[in-house]
Structure 1
């Protein structure tokens, strides 16, 4: 466990980081924040619009700003991240890193089966082209695995089951 007692959830977009985070905070003493929500608040616009209007490189600079703020300011917090946030160089200084892992096809199936599927797909600009998204998944997954302190396979588990496993593993890791 990092000295700041934070947890960072990493994983591919749509894997369930937000859902698991909501369960963790219901069942623990952690507070929760989401890096994409912070960025949207900073810029007063949606991630999708930042990508469209300002470009991905600008968005990644905003992620860096958030990462630096997290390192200097946040304790006892569960941090949900966007799919590319894991590339920030200071993650190990911020928190224990937990990868929520699942095969690409299962992530897409999970999103498409969600009652709010159209909205979930629309808010993730990098999922517009599923072939490119799968290539991105294949590129990122080994990087996620290399960075993670703890890996949780979310494939056949509810958010509550993932939360319980996460809290148990974090306790052992500390």
Structure 2
């Protein structure tokens, strides 16, 4: 892998992309960016507020604009994406795609056990209805696998363990 190439973490909501990006950043000394944080900063609104006031289509438009920006302007960075970011065009132009794979049940269970569980669910508009979220998971699972350069099984692993596995697999 080229040293200037970005590492782009994809996977379903709550799988641990942000925590893994922070652990990987510490491990290999690269900066990390969180796509949802960047969008919130640009809009000066939380994701839930963007969904509520402007809708999901508007949010997806912001993701597309961000993907173009990242591909053109960001190098040598770890990028954690939102769960639906996998659908943006040109994802592969941003960097090497790493799919953090887990079962839906394990993701929900992990989120429920976390100390700030309510907050984790509240900030994800598409997790408000678990039946619909499961359908979305089933749809996206194949897309994640298809777009990935690398797939990492993350169930029952800490972000630090996942980061070490990523470092090994991408040979950094």
Q: TM-score, normalised by structure 1?
A: 0.96
CA contact (8 A) 1:63 1:85 kept: yes
CA contact (8 A) 1:4 1:95 kept: no
Matched, 1:62 2:62: yes
Structure-2 residue corresponding to 1:18: 18
Structure-2 residue corresponding to 1:157: 157
- Matches of 1:151 and 1:83 in 2, distance apart? 15
- Matches of 1:82 and 1:12 in 2, distance apart? 8
- Matches of 2:52 and 2:4 in 1, distance apart? 35
Provide the alpha-carbon RMSD of the alignment: 1.1
- Matches of 1:22 and 1:62 in 2, distance apart? 23
Q: Extract unaligned runs of 5+ from structure 1.
A: none
CA contact (8 A) 1:4 1:74 kept: no
CA contact (8 A) 2:3 2:76 kept: no
CA contact (8 A) 1:12 1:83 kept: yes
Q: TM-score, normalised by structure 2?
A: 0.97
The structure 1 segments of at least 4 consecutive aligned residues displaced by more than 2 Å after TM superposition are 1-4
Q: Extract unaligned runs of 5+ from structure 2.
A: none
Matched, 1:95 2:95: yes
- Matches of 1:106 and 1:14 in 2, distance apart? 10
Structure-2 residue corresponding to 1:111: 111
- Matches of 2:94 and 2:120 in 1, distance apart? 28
For the structure 1 residues 122 and 95, does the alpha-carbon distance in structure 2 shift closer, same or farther, using more than 3 Å as the test?
same
- Matches of 1:69 and 1:3 in 2, distance apart? 20
Secondary structure at the aligned position of 1:27 is classed as helix
Q: Deviations over 1:23-76 (max 9, x none)?
A: 001111211001000000000000010000000000000001100100110000
What is the CA distance between 1:3 and its match in structure 2? 7.8
For residues 107-146 of structure 1, the aligned pairs below 5 Å read 107-146=107-146
The aligned length equals 172
